[in-house]
Chain A
Amino acid sequence: MTSITLSGVNKSFGANFPVIRGVDLQIEDGEFCVFLGPSGCGKSTLLRMVAGLEMGYTGEIRIGDRVVDKVEPADRQVAMVFQNYALYPHMSVYDNMAFGLRQAKTAKAEIERRVQDAARILQIEPLLDRMPKALSGGQRQRVAIGRAIVRQPKVFLFDEPLSNLDAALRVHMRSEIATLHRNFPAASMIYVTHDQTEAMALADKIVLLHAGKDMLKHGSIAQVGKPLDLYHRPRNLFVAGFLGSPTMNFLPGTFIAQEAAGARVALKGGEELVVPVNGGALAPGGAVTLGVRPEHLAPVAAPAAQTLTRPVTAVEHFGEYSFVYLDSGTPTPMIAKVAGDGGVKAGDTASFAAPIECCHLFDGDGIALNHLTSL
């Protein structure tokens, strides 16, 4: 009953500056949904539309079974945690958390109980009398979350809540937010980030958004799905390139023929690979792009079927693994992520197996061809 439904939602700033286009999206009861995308793609705008802070859109937003397009933010049963925390600087931690309840004329004892409960959950009881400026970044973050909790909302909204924290604290708070989600199973959460690790770690569902030209052409939503769906079955080049680090290798090639195991593709150097997708719609000789993630390339002793052989231009060692940079004749080098030191050095020629189930194929428009097997 606290599902969130967006239907045909568009938003522009001014007459000719569209930011959100054709969003149809359903977020289920109790789901942890992450809006992910490059900077400026409209993640915050979309979140703020759900919060009621951004009006003047077309389409319809429902929270539960109520259309909220004309409902004031405070009446939408949502709570929001801002990137810069937005704690009221002139109020103590306690007052910050109690402010919304006081505005709603909640009974004093009830306020006290809820604030104390939230403070206990977040372990900020000793801080209740402090002013925000006397808190560390992590503590402010907790108070901001506490302020959301006490309102007992049906939807939690987070706008890049961790981006002002240092790396170690970010990982720690990330797990706390996951805990929070477990503690409030009834509430849905929408979480905005441009950090794919955060998205992969937290999300039940990722909504990956397009920016700029892609948004105009295909609508705002690039792909919606479970994190591993997006990782293993990206729908297009943008999704494939956005998730994963280092980013997926894209190798230009031509389609030869469809076989039982999949589509046979010839790469520039003459190597031929089979990708387990349905290329029936492709014309032989048509241009395609083969995609394979650096972590899926496995070093092999000698060239063979389904391998890629390239000169090594550089190797970066990280101890546990190494990045091997390979000259692929394209402007961006091909990268292989290998265990240990990789056993190769710049100047060598190295071969890597591209396991058939790990290859992706994109047509001339950058759209992924359907895999023959589902996940």
Chain B
Amino acid sequence: MATSPITRATGRVAVPVLGLFWLAVTTVPFLFMVMTTFKTQQESYSSSVWALPEALDFVNYADVLSGPFLTYLKNSVMVVVISVILIVVISAMAAYAFARMRFRFNEALFGLIVAGMIVPIHITLVPIYLMTRHMGLYDSPFALIGPYVATSLPISVFILTEFMRQIPKELEEAARLDGCGPFAIFFKVFFPLSGPGLSTVAIYNGIMLWNEFIFAYVLTSSTSTRTLPLAIWDYQGQYTSNIPAILAVVTLTSLPLVVAYAFGQEKIVKGMMAGSLKG
């Protein structure tokens, strides 16, 4: 009632205008990307950037897929799946200890691990590089798993500890009366009950690691061992000035996440926001 008609009218105009404006800002780069992938190299130089491609030509995609692209994909899937499984199990175990067990230094240790969230991973790069060479893991996709799991642990432990603190103490006590030791309580009660927390952790880390660049860049060097973010990098070196082909690689590497996103937007948005909504 006190809202003046003018404010309401501005609102009615401003909301869609601003909403659509940002939509344009978001989508224009993607439009450019996808459109260009259907152009030939020749076309990308000669025609106007914003001109539609002459034909819906998948030749660039075919070109990329005929190369080692699938090897990169396979490596990515393998590294990310193994890492995420390890992250979920290991951080859930630690979180259970922090959330539910009484032992000396519980809080101190938790604080220390959580503080690991702000450590810039770059400081670990050289030592891990040297260590990896030393262990004979250099240039193997498996070299990535250790650093991936370790650097993901602080935030994952933090999220899951917060989550498990919400699980009623009585459930644990009921389980103890039902004859469960600490391990049975964890695996039969806490782990299954942490489903939403676990999926948040899995989604967040899955996306982060799927896109991880620097460790992969430093610890692997051959086409046969590298992951998808490096596919872009390597193709960029190889195709140099074939913009449509390079953008086809970019499109293809982004596709898996976009497809996953199409199926579970809410969950993925929530997962990506993990750790920021609390604390």
The listed residue (A73, A74, A82, A104) touching B170 by CB distance below 8 A is A82
* B-side contacts of A79, CB under 8 Å: 177
Q: Verify if B192 is at the interface (C-beta below 8 Å from A).
A: yes
Q: Does B189 have its Cβ within 8 Å of any Cβ on chain A?
A: yes
Interface size class on chain B is 10 to 19
Given contacts A84-B170, A86-B170, contact A51 B193 (CB under 8 A): no
Scan B161-191; emit 1 where CB is below 8 A from any A CB, else 0.
0000000101101111111100010001100
* A302 CB–B CB distance under 8 Å: no
Q: Which residues of chain A have C-beta atoms less than 8 A from B179's C-beta?
A: 74, 100, 103-104
Point out the residues of chain B lying under 8 angstroms from A51, CB to CB: 173, 177
Q: What residues of B have a CB within 8 angstroms of the CB of A53 in the complex?
A: 173, 176-177
Known contacts A100-B178, A100-B179: A82-B173 contact under CB 8 Å: yes
When the two chains form their complex, are residues B171 and A73 in contact, meaning their CB atoms are under 8 A apart?
no
> Nearest chain-A residue to B171 (Cβ)?
A86
Q: Residues of B contacting A211 with CB < 8 Å?
A: none
What string of 1s and 0s marks CB contacts (under 8 Å) between A45-80 and chain B?
000100111000000000000000000111000111
Question: Is A99 an interface position by the 8 A CB rule?
Answer: yes
CB distance from B138 to the nearest CB of A (A): 43
Q: Which residues of A contact B171 (CB under 8 A)?
A: 86, 88
> What is the minimal beta-carbon distance from A328 to any residue of chain B, in angstroms?
46
Interface residues of A in 84-133 (CB under 8 A from B): 84, 86-90, 99-100, 103-104
Consensus secondary structure, chain A interface: loop
B168 touches A84 (CB 8 A): yes
- Least Cβ–Cβ distance between B118 and chain A, in angstroms: 33
Question: In the complex, which residues 123-179 of chain A have their Cβ closer than 8 Å to any Cβ of chain B?
Answer: 147, 151
* CB atoms of B184 and A89 under 8 A apart: no
- Point out the residues of chain A lying under 8 angstroms from B193, CB to CB: 88-90
Residue of B nearest to A72 (CB): B176
In the complex, A87 Cα to B175 Cα: how many Å? 10
How far is the CB of A4 from the nearest CB of chain B, in Å? 16
Contact with B along A23-65 (1 / 0, CB 8 A): 0000000000000000000000000100111000000000000
Secondary structure dominating the interface of B = helix
A80 to B172, CA, bound (A): 12
Residue in B177, B184, B189 whose CB lies within 8 Å of A80: B177
Residues of A within 8 A of B177 (CB): 51, 53, 73-74, 78-80, 100
Once A88-B189, A90-B192 are accepted as A-B contacts, the answer to whether A80 and B174 lie under 8 Å apart by CB is yes
Instruction: Give the complex CA separation of A78 and B176 in angstroms.
Output: 11
Cα of A86 to Cα of B171 in the assembled complex, Å: 5
Residue of A nearest to B170 (CB): A86
Residues in B with CB closer than 8 Å to A80 are 173-174, 177
A195 to chain B, nearest CB (A): 20
Residue ID in chain B nearest A90 by CB atoms: B192
Q: How far is the CA of A352 from the CA of B180 in the complex (A)?
A: 61
Interface centre among B174, B175, B184 (most CB of A within 10 A): B174
What are the residues of chain A within 8 A of B170 when measuring CB–CB? Answer: 82-84, 86
| Residue contact B192 to A99, C-beta cutoff 8 Å | no
Q: Please, which residues of chain A bring their CB within 8 A of the CB of B188?
A: 99
Provide the residues of chain B in CB contact with A48, threshold 8 Å: 173
Most buried by A among B173, B179, B189: B179
Choice from B168, B178, B192, B195 contacting A103 with Cβ under 8 Å: B178
What chain B residues lie within 8 Å of A78 (beta carbons)?
177
| Most chain A CB neighbours (cut-off 10 Å) among B175, B178, B193 | B178
CA distance A73 to B175 in the complex (A): 10
Q: Report whether B184 and A103 are in contact in the complex, using a CB–CB cutoff of 8 Å.
A: yes
In angstroms, how far is the closest chain A Cβ from the Cβ of B46? 62
Does the CB pair B176–A86 fall under 8 Å?
no
Chain A neighbourhood of B189, CB < 8 A: 88
CA distance A88 to B170 in the complex (A): 10
Contact yes or no, A86 B173, CB < 8 A: yes
Chain A positions within 8 Å of B174 at CB level:
80, 82, 86-88, 147
Q: How far is the CA of A86 from the CA of B172 in the complex (A)?
A: 9
- Bound-complex Cα distance A90 to B177 (A): 18
Could you give 28 example pairs across A and B, Cβ below 8 Å?
A: A48-B173, A53-B177, A72-B176, A73-B173, A73-B177, A74-B176, A74-B178, A74-B179, A80-B173, A80-B174, A80-B177, A82-B173, A82-B174, A84-B168, A84-B170, A86-B173, A88-B174, A88-B175, A88-B189, A88-B193, A90-B192, A90-B193, A90-B195, A99-B175, A100-B178, A103-B179, A103-B184, A104-B179
New A-B pairs, 5, CB < 8 Å, besides A53-B173, A86-B168, A103-B178: A53-B176, A53-B177, A74-B180, A78-B177, A99-B178
Q: Which residues does A use to contact B, with CB under 8 Å? A: 48, 51-53, 72-74, 78-80, 82-84, 86-90, 99-100, 103-104, 147, 151
Which 6 interchain pairs have the tightest Cβ spacing? A100-B178, A74-B179, A86-B170, A103-B179, A86-B174, A82-B170
